Chain A
Amino acid sequence: MLHIKCPHCGLRSQNEFSYGGDATVKRPELNKEVSDKDWDNFVYLRKSLIGKHLELWQHISGCRQWIKVERDTLTHEIFKTLKANEEV
């Protein structure tokens, strides 16, 4: 079980969090033209990385904040955790 440091609450076990996928994906802006390809990329296409991965987790059984976690997908090493509005 992973040990994730919530930037708001501190070090907690994985079972307090839920996974939210790739944190580098940006939602296209509202009311803007989006090509089929760009939209498909946004909705469906994700890289399956080996190594460092910036991902979203939500501290659902804690502060309910969405946070960013930089994790190695191979070793599970967590390098850094960030608040939603922070950049790596």
Chain B
Amino acid sequence: MSEKFRLDKGGLINRNKKISFKFNGKKYFGYEGDTLASALIANGVHLVGRSFKYHRPRGFFGAGVDEPYAIVQMNRNNEVDPNVRATEQELFEGLEAKSVNCWPNVNFDIGAINNFLGKFFPAGFYYKTFMWPKSFWYKVYEPIIRKAAGFGAASIKHDKEKYEHKYEYCDLLITGSGPSGLASAYAAAQNGAKVILAEDKSRFGGSLLTSEVTIGNQSGQEWAEKIISELKSMPNVVVKNRSQVFGYYDHNMLVMSERISDHLPKTEKYIPKQRLWYIRAKEVIISSGSIERPLVFGNNDTPGVMLSSAAKEYLKIYGVLVGKKPLVFTNNDSGYETAIEFKKNGIDPIVLDTRKNPNSEIIKEAEDLNINIKNSYVVVAAKGYKKVKSADIAKISDDKKNINNIENIKCDCICVSGFWTPTIHLASQSGNKTKFNEEIDAFIPSKSKQKETTLGSANGTFTLEETLKTSFKKGNELSKQITNKENKVSIPSVVEKKYSNHDKFWCVPLPEGKNYKRFLDFQNDVAVSDIQLALREGYRSIEHVKRYTTLGMATDQGRTSNLNGLQLVSDIENKVVPQVGHTTFRPPYSPVSIGAIVGREIGKHSKPTRKSPMHYWHEKNNAVFVDAGVWLRPRYYKQGNENLFEASKREARNVRQNVGVCDVTTLGKIDIKGPDAAELLNRVYTNAWLKLPVGKARYGVMLREDGIVMDDGTTTRISENHYHMTTTTAQAANVLSHLEYYLQLVWPELNVNVVSSTEQWAGAAIAGPKSRDVLQKLFPDLDVSNEGLPFMGYMEGNLFGVNAKIFRISFSGELAYEVNVESDNGNFMWEKIMDVGKDFNIQPYGTEALSTLRIEMGHVAGSELDGRTIPYDNSLEGLVSKKKDFIGKRSLSKLAYVAPDRQKIVGVVPLDKKTSIPEGSYIVKDAKAKLPNPKLGHVSASCWSVEYDNPFSLAIIKDGKNMIGQKLFALSPLKNKTIPVEIVSSHYVDPKGERVRS
């Protein structure tokens, strides 16, 4: 297909490189340097989608980030990318895209019926209609609305592309490479400042690429090229194109998304698709420019109606005509630039100017070119469904209230210019209280809250001369403060055309008897009538009007709609715009892909994985792993076709009968040294610590100040002033911070140092009646008898040449030891244990068997120490000293904590001795009681007791002390189970604790 709308010459595209692409399955050609939008327009394609609510045909409205309509679904290298702006997507060989939001296709769209039902879809329609009955909302209405209203469809496949994050610091971050960005960057760079200049488009230069100006003795475009190439050559400057600074956060932290590979057919190896930059800037210069404002008239959403600046950009950058019979509808001089550009390329435009007697240099130039100019004229309505075919135009009265002599003229595009809106999003995000500027009918930044300065047209400065002057000055000033160097550059002379005043007119009245839709928000289909309705219904605050009508809530953040919406509200309310105020701008300025936000933190990289030194042994021996915080721990070691339940029973039983070994490397370890170490422990733990002898371990419980148990573990006195503390795996980091808090802030007089030693030691728990035999074989020279190494004893030994610490402590309730060696020797130790243990039928056991063993012994763990229980609740009151003070002690006398029916841990056995009780079940007195059934407590942990071969659970229930022997019920609404149970002691096995001391 030939490019009927491409000019023979001109533009910045590379005409030597033809590119083929597909849109909605059809093949087209474009050139290198095109966007998908420019290439489609060159091919005469203007119908690219359907609107959000009414499914009206949608074409192109802008030429960049301002585009509200042309959102397409990309298929690139077999990856789907939903919601891409065709105006931003650069063309590449083999590009494939299709329309979104239309079914079955863009030309015949079933949803378009909404357009004819338009009056039934006013503002708030969804809220009003679908509220009743409530159940219908979730099951019937919502899915249908979602299907009809959705934009592109995200892929459900794993995204193969790579994304990465980068952290950067700079003196000046400059957002936008138009005249203000270039000038300030150049001045700052000369002063030696570290500058990052970010441009969201592929080409640098901003408005200089399309304006007819002279800087020094060069054209604007040549000057921009020169400055950019100079900046690129400077070591203190980073220049980035395709990079959108979309968020301004606290303390001058800005986030930028760099599209590295989106413009290529596929991402190269080792290169990410996109990169998210977190930039901490000492100063920020916002040079984001301005966006042309639409004029509002009937059917102003018809394909072919677009911003006049966009039409000019398509001409000047891409050599593409948006139409061959253009109508330019303007309230200011900008429209004339577009008209002149058409004329220069052999096309005769008609200019409709809302002003009565406009007069300026550029209008004179248009007149000299014999351009047909109609003053005091407006477009009443665009005609045509899928493309503009003609326009109803009319003379407008001086007071702009009446239209006369409506006539229809043929045209194929309507280029609108309603003056300019500064892009203040970043300034507003930074906390800048913006102010309304009457002269330009728009908000501009005012008082900065952070270190930001807005320059150029983003600040409402619309002349190039003034922009360059202030930008060179600011760039110099701001950088000088930082670098203490000054290398002043001279400001070049500027030749530009002078503008006359714009007309404040923005909305064409409806002709009598006509009910045209006049759109304000093109992406969310919000028309003038919707706002009027919202105000009639009593919505006043602009924030409420926004939410009720969805004005400005689309992905374009109301870039083209905001001000006209505000104008309308203030007109109806008889207020002025600043009284109405604008809605808050929030990041991101422009949509950012989820992939870029996530970066490399996906799958296994979403969090660090910690592995013990014995990990590979476990792997080789069929361990099935489980996440324990960031650690991977063996849950069980699979033999044959065993499942979790069978394997864990076998492993636990072997501990009770023979001997097992468990990897306990993950336990938190803290090394405590100093003359006041014992005093610290005495204040941190609930029990007494001052008299613990060297070579002995003690079990301790620590509380928070509110009396809740924080953690438990054993601490061993290694030598006079040296202790080795263990914590649970989960609380290791918190306990260290807790100790540091008291040592640094509360009791700085204590002479103690604490440091984490978790990573330094590999640990193995050897448990079971035959554990002493294994230990003796590991340490043949040591006396490990009950007398030589009694319960809670500690000694050091030599394990086949490596130093080891031996603790006689037990979590399983069996005779048990924990052996620690330096991490590097962990695997060596483990293999030795397995080797010498063979004779005693040693088997490794995982966390599931470990749980079983501790549950049937009634030892508490994380599921009981859940941040809601005090020592009494866990039957740990025996460890609470009455004599000394400690952290949290004062809280234990609270009335609720000493209530006679205070909750307490108990054991729970099902009456049938068969049905396992789901963890989290309620314990109730009467299974059939009226709901809500008063609950006595909950089941915290469940196992299959290997000692008694029946299910056993721990529960924390009200008045647990007096509940032993009672027959109650365990209810699990989740699993739909009601289980009759008997309450027993939580110490189900070996209640006197004889085994650990044997």
Contact = CB atoms under 8 A, between A and B. Distances in A.
Interface of A: 1-3, 13, 18, 20, 27-28, 30-31, 34, 39, 42-44, 56, 58, 60, 64-66, 75-76, 78, 84-85
Given A30-B683, A43-B706, A44-B706, A58 B250 contact: no
Given A1-B250, A34-B890, A84-B745, A58 B449 contact: no
A46 to B, nearest CB: 13
Nearest to A42: B705
B891 A39 contact: yes
A16 B265 CA distance: 39
18 contacts: A1-B249, A2-B250, A3-B251, A3-B280, A27-B705, A28-B890, A30-B683, A31-B884, A39-B890, A42-B705, A43-B706, A43-B891, A56-B745, A58-B737, A64-B740, A75-B431, A84-B748, A85-B748
B253 interface: yes
B740 A58 contact: yes
A79 B251 CA distance: 12
B746 interface: yes
B998 interface: no
B746 A65 contact: no
B126 interface: no
Most buried by A among B683, B737, B884: B737
B885 interface: yes
Interface string B235-253: 0000000000000011111
A1 B252 CA distance: 9
B250 A30 contact: no
B704 to A, nearest CB: 9
Contacts of A43: 705-706, 891
B744 interface: yes
Contacts of A56: 745
Contacts of B253: 1, 3, 13
Nearest to B754: A64
Contacts of B251: 1-3, 76, 78
Nearest to B886: A30
4 closest pairs, A vs B, by CB? A3-B251, A30-B885, A84-B744, A66-B744
Contacts of A2: 250-251
A9 B428 CA distance: 33
A14 B253 CA distance: 11
Contacts of A13: 253, 280
A66 B555 CA distance: 43
A49 to B, nearest CB: 18
Report the contact-size class of chain B (Cβ under 8 Å from the partner): 20 to 34
A20 B744 CA distance: 13
A68 to B, nearest CB: 9
B741 interface: yes
B296 to A, nearest CB: 38
Nearest to B682: A30
A58 B741 contact: yes
Interface string B983-996: 00000000000000
Contacts of B252: 3
Chain B residues touching A, majority SS: helix
Given A1-B249, A34-B890, A43-B706, A65 B885 contact: no
Nearest to B736: A64
Contacts of B449: 75
A58 B744 CA distance: 10
B499 to A, nearest CB: 39
Most buried by A among B740, B744, B745: B745
Given A1-B251, A3-B251, A30-B683, A66 B745 contact: yes
A85 B741 CA distance: 12
Given A43-B706, A85-B748, A76 B250 contact: yes
Nearest to A75: B449
Contacts of B740: 58, 64-66
Interface string B606-634: 00000000000000000000000000000
Contacts of B431: 75
A65 B745 CA distance: 10
B796 to A, nearest CB: 29
Contacts of A84: 744-745, 748
Contacts of B280: 3, 13
A31 B251 CA distance: 44
Contacts of B885: 30-31
Contacts of B706: 43-44
Contacts of A85: 748
Given A13-B280, A27-B746, 9 more contacts: A2-B251, A3-B252, A20-B741, A30-B683, A39-B891, A42-B705, A65-B744, A78-B251, A85-B748
Contacts of B741: 20, 58, 66
A34 B894 CA distance: 13
Nearest to B733: A60
Nearest to B431: A75
Nearest to A76: B250
A70 B745 CA distance: 16
Contacts of B278: 1
A79 to B, nearest CB: 13
A47 B298 CA distance: 56
B28 to A, nearest CB: 45
Contacts of A30: 683, 885
Interface string B556-592: 0000000000000000000000000000000000000
A1 B278 CA distance: 10
A27 B886 CA distance: 12
B49 to A, nearest CB: 37
A2 to B, nearest CB: 5
Contacts of A64: 740
A30 B891 CA distance: 13
Contacts of A60: 733, 737
A61 B382 CA distance: 62
Nearest to B741: A66
A33 to B, nearest CB: 10
A66 B419 CA distance: 55
Contacts of A34: 890
A64 B253 CA distance: 24
Most buried by A among B249, B253, B278, B744: B744
Interface string B946-975: 000000000000000000000000000000
Interface string B396-410: 000000000000000
Contact of A18 (B683, B737, B748): B737
Nearest to B746: A27
Contacts of B748: 84-85
A3 B890 CA distance: 38
A45 B744 CA distance: 23
A2 B890 CA distance: 36
Nearest to B888: A43
A48 to B, nearest CB: 19
Contacts of A44: 706
Contacts of B745: 56, 66, 84
Contacts of A1: 249-251, 253, 278
Interface string B743-772: 011101000000000000000000000000
Contacts of A18: 737
Nearest to A29: B885
Contacts of A42: 705
Contacts of B890: 28, 34, 39
Most buried by B among A64, A65, A85: A64
Contacts of A58: 737, 740-741
Nearest to A38: B890
A78 to B, nearest CB: 8
A30 B885 CA distance: 6
A65 B744 CA distance: 8
A42 B104 CA distance: 66
Interface in B269-297: 278, 280
A64 B828 CA distance: 33
A75 to B, nearest CB: 7
Interface string B347-362: 0000000000000000
